[in-house]
Amino acid sequence: MTMAETMDLLRSLRAGMMPWPEYERRVADGQLVDPGQGPVMRAFEAAHPEHPMTGRNRTRRAEAANGLRDAARERTEPFPPATLEVIHACLLDCCAAVRSSLALALFQAGDESSVSPLTELLRLESSADMPGRSNTVRRCARAALGRCATRGEIHSQPGRPTLLSLGRDVDLAAGLDDLAKEHRLHHVQSHTATDLIGLPAVVQVVDPAVCRADEWATFRSYLEDLVAVVPDLPPESMAPDETPLLLLNCPASDDGMVAGLAKPEGTVFRFGANATDTILHLLSQALADCHGTGMEPVTREMIRGALDVLQR
């Protein structure tokens, strides 16, 4: 997308935008007419042409938000600061469809500066006394918040084993968030394959297609070094990486980037396209089996064993 096209979208996004809390306050005070649910009638639009929720005004902003969401999916880096500034300013739009698309745009191309506006959006979407809340927006905002937070320094959480994911599927990210909360894990949404080396985890969920080639090559070399035969050292000194690795978009018939990974048998689990529900179900079952009736922390060995049994 060209800079001119981006600027057009940003202008449309701001046209007639009203922050959600202000909109609800004005409706409650009688300063603004509430069009109600469903399609906005032509008579209402004719009587209130500047209303932020008329079909014309709302559609213009929603289409601009959709355009930014689609542009974000094509990016490998965050939006420029000037673009993010406008998205952040419009994130609390009174239209839920706009909020949803902008949250998805930040999931794909936000950065550390997006954490504060996303936190405020999530707070409002979780507030019981806020009219117009949306479960879809809440899930998107939560996933985006987790991914934007890891654009900066990643902090571990003592007592909570790490579930590491690397991908661009917002439904999978939101589902992993739910599993992490349920099973007392720390879900980290990574942006680089080198975190597979430097960030200890009990399970890794990775889409190799979103990894930079050089970073994936570094990860492969790391695995190979772990099992390399070193002169004068006994074989038992070798310590392969036994972290369960779930690979997205990697059917067994297509080796691609994952051929010859130096991982022990029973530690790599491959899934084809559109496997989000399957992966979440499998992990949910494995984590439930790991916990059983006890309260001990989940370990990679427990997850690996449970996954191996479930996939047989």
Q: DSSP string spanning 53-92?
A: TSHHHHHHHHHHHHHHHHHHHT-SSPPPHHHHHHHHHHTT
Residue 105: pLDDT band by 50, 70, 90 thresholds? Answer: very high
Average pLDDT, the chain: 87
Residue 288: pLDDT band by 50, 70, 90 thresholds? Answer: confident
The pLDDT, as a whole number, for residue 136 is: 93
3-state DSSP helix/strand/coil % of the chain, to nearest 5: 55, 5, 40
- Tokens found for residue 256: 């691609």
The pLDDT, as a whole number, for residue 232 is: 56
Residue 179: pLDDT band by 50, 70, 90 thresholds? Answer: very high
**Helix H or strand E segment including 124:** helix 115-125
Q: Are 204 and 246 in contact (CB under 8 A)?
A: yes
**pLDDT at 184 exceeding the cut of 70:** yes
**pLDDT at 229 exceeding the cut of 60:** no
The pLDDT, as a whole number, for residue 236 is: 53
pTM of the model: 0.82
User: Most confidently modeled of 43-52, 105-114, 153-162, 188-197?
Assistant: 105-114
Residue 258: pLDDT band by 50, 70, 90 thresholds? Answer: confident
What is the rounded distance in angstroms from the CA atom of residue 63 to the CA atom of residue 201?
39
Question: Which of 6-20, 37-51, 111-125 has the weakest average pLDDT?
Answer: 37-51
Show the beta-strand stretches assigned E in the chain: 162-166, 186-189, 203-206, 245-247, 268-270
pLDDT digits (tens, 9 = 90+) for 81-99: 999 999 999 999 999 999 9
What is the rounded distance in angstroms from the CA atom of residue 2 to the CA atom of residue 252?
39
What is the rounded distance in angstroms from the CA atom of residue 273 to the CA atom of residue 251?
8
∠ Cα 189 285 126 (to 5°): 50
* Mean pLDDT, rounded, for 135-150: 92
Buried b or exposed e, range 31-63, using 16+ CB within 10 angstroms:
ebeebeeeebeeebbeebeebbbbeebbebbbe
* Mean pLDDT, rounded, for 135-160: 85
Question: Which of 20-29, 63-72, 250-259 has the weakest average pLDDT?
Answer: 250-259
Residue 48: pLDDT band by 50, 70, 90 thresholds? Answer: confident
**pLDDT at 254 exceeding the cut of 90:** no
Domains observed in the chain: 3-149 (no CATH), 162-311 (3.40.50)
Residue 116: pLDDT band by 50, 70, 90 thresholds? Answer: very high
DSSP, res 233: S
Question: Which of 28-32, 81-85, 298-302 has the weakest average pLDDT?
Answer: 298-302
The pLDDT, as a whole number, for residue 295 is: 47
